[in-house]
Amino acid sequence: MIRVSKKAKALVFATMTIIILSFALMIPGVIAAADTTTTVATTPETTAIITPELKINVVYPKLSAKAGANFEFKFDLVYTGTEEATFDIVTEAPTKDWFVVVSPTYEDKQISAVQLTPGKTESLKLVVAQPVNTDLQTAGDFKVKVKVSNTDLKLNSEFEFLATVTATYSVGFTPKYGVLNTKATSGKNNPFVFTLTNSGSGDLNNITFKADAPQKWIVKFEPDKIENMKAAATQDIKVTITPPDKTIAGDYMLNFSVSSPDASKSADLRVTVETPSIWGWVGIGVIVLVVLGVAIIFARLGRR
């Protein structure tokens, strides 16, 4: 019978233990590798699906301008698709009196269609002109619409811009009969007529009148104040000019002005003062008396 020493037994036991531990540590790695191989092998291939889309991007959708001025809106078209496509452009103005066109950003040509490339941004501008007739240039908010579409792709996009027209204020003050001079008699009421016009696009309120005349002259306005006057309205303003009695005959310059919180205007009027007819007759009488007096004196001296 072969006897195995304790050292040999211990060596065999240690060797077996190392072998068993090595296999135990290798098993998870083999399983993980097997799982990975299986996953890669069985994962199906996928293809991205592109849905056609059209967007209108706008930074400044609302602009303000005075009556008569133009608006210029800028916008970008962004098209998502698989190939180039042509899109029609249609605009809608507030009324038929407005003029609306679409142009490339850095050109003035008018376009009604644009060819878009997928993934590329196309920059355009919308030019909006107010009515040429000033009577139609009213203050307020006006909507302008742009619609871009392609019927084959069944794609369309639209955007509504807002053009705000601010009122302008202006007043006219002119002689009704076209001349800025008149005749007046001292001591009497002498009429003159101005035409007042609201030549702006906004209403005028609290309109008053003023005259800069020589001392002791009297100037009256009729009416002397207007509470409200609509745009494009006109009204006659009657002025009564009264020079003082015994005013020396000659030309005098008077300044007339009209003003409101929003607008003002002035006009110079030359007034020629004439001697009243009664004073003319008095003057003639004095001359006649002087002549008669001189004649009497000479007659008496002649008798001597």
Q: Report CA torsion sign: 97, 136, 172, 184.
A: positive
Distance CA 192, CA 184 (A): 10
Exposure class string for 54-78: b at 16+ Cβ within 10 A, else e: beeeeeeeeeeeebebebebebebb
11-25, 177-191, 199-213, 253-267, range with the lowest pLDDT = 11-25
Q: For residue range 226-276, list pLDDT tens digits in order.
A: 999 998 899 999 999 999 999 999 999 999 999 999 999 999 999 999 976
Mean residue pLDDT across the chain = 86
Angle, vertex CA 155, rays to CA 150 and CA 159, nearest 5 = 95
Closest CA to 157 of 192, 114, 221, 207: 114
Count Cα atoms within 13 angstroms, Cβ side, for 249: 6
Q: How many CA atoms lie within 13 A of 33 on its CB side?
A: 5
Asked which of 6-10, 76-80, 83-87, 245-249 is least confident by mean pLDDT, the reply is: 6-10
- At 40 the pLDDT is 46
Contact 174, 194 (CB under 8 A): yes
Assessment of whether the complete model's pTM goes beyond 0.75: no
| pLDDT at residue 288 tops 80 | no
Please name each of the domains of the chain with its CATH number.
53-166 (2.60.40.10), 171-275 (2.60.40.10)
